[in-house]
Amino acid sequence: MTEQLIDILHKKAKQGPIVGYFGYGSLVNKNTLRTEYIATIPATLKGWQRMWDTPSGDDFDGQSVSLLTVRPNQSKNTKGVVVFDWAENLPLVDAREHNYHRRTINTKELGFENLFDASSHSFYVYEAIENKTLEDERPPLLHSYLDAVLQGFHDVYGSDGIHEFMATTENFHTPILNDRNQPQYPRSVQLNEEQRALIDLILASKADISFIE
C-alpha cells in the first residue's frame, strides 16, 4: 500500500465511514464491481483457504452452480485484493453476496497491522453459507464466472496471478459449464484476445479440469 493511498483514505474518511472487504474471486475484477468504491489494492488474507463450493440456495437460470468461497485454515493464505468502499454501500455488496456470510477480519490477517489502527476501518470477507442439501456430486462452475475471476487476477497480478490462482484453489476437479458464448453469470466480462488465449491455454494444461455443454 502506498503512502499516497493512505493519504487518500484519510481525506475520504472525513466525508464518511470507510470499510474494506477482501476479494478473492470475482471481486478482484474491477469490471464486476457495482458500487462507487474508493480504491482496490493487492493483498493476501492469512489463515484462509480459497476453494470451489456451492453456497446454499445459489443458482443461475434455475441451475445450482459452484462458486468460490474461503474457509478458515491457519496453514493457508489466499491472494486477492482489498476493496475500500463507503460503509453505506455495504448493503449493496451484501445483496450481491446474498448467499455468503460477511465475516469480520482483522488487520493482522491482512498484514495491515502496521498501516491502520484497528479502530480506523472495519475489514470483512465473504464466506459462503454451507449447503447441507448437496449430494455427493458438486454442481458445475460457470465458464463466464471463471473468466471474470481470471481476468481480474490477470489485471492485478499478470499471468503469474492466474497460475497462482489455479495452483492454490481447491476443488478444481469440479466440471466447467461452457456458457462463455451465452453467459449465465450476471456480471460477465469481455475478454480480449490475449486474455482468452492465455486462459484457454492454462485451462487446457490442467488434466483434472473437464468441460460440459
The grid coordinates listed for 19 are 470499510
Order of strands, edge to edge, in the sheet holding 176-177?
141-142, 176-177, 211-212
pLDDT score at 134: 60
Name the nearest CA neighbour of 106 among 120, 94, 95.
120
Percent of the chain, pLDDT > 70?
Answer: 92
Find all residues with CB under 8 Å of 6, minimum gap 6, and list them.
115
Q: Distance between CA atoms of 188 and 169, rounded to whole angstroms?
A: 21
> Residue 25 corresponds to which cell in the numbers above?
474471486
174 and 140 Cβ atoms separated by less than 8 Å: yes
Q: Of the candidates 53, 71, 42, 66, which has an alpha carbon nearest to the alpha carbon of residue 164?
A: 42
Report the Cα–Cα distance between both ends of the chain, in Å, rounded: 42
Number of H helices, E strands in the chain: 6, 10
CA distance 167 to 43: 17
- Cα(7)–Cα(93) distance, integer angstroms: 25
User: Where are the strands (E) in the chain, listed by range?
Assistant: 18-23, 39-53, 59-60, 63-64, 67-86, 100-105, 122-128, 141-142, 176-177, 211-212
* Cβ–Cβ < 8 Å for 25, 70: no
Is it the case that residue 111 has pLDDT exceeding 70?
Answer: yes
In the beta sheet, which residues pair with residue 100? Answer: 128
The confidence score (pLDDT) of residue 119 equals: 63
154-197: per-residue pLDDT in tens?
A: 999 999 999 999 999 999 988 999 999 999 999 999 999 999 99
Q: What is the pLDDT averaged over residues 115-144?
A: 81
- Write down the pLDDT at residue 208: 82
Contact by Cβ (8 Å): 59, 100: no
Average pLDDT of the chain to the nearest whole number: 90
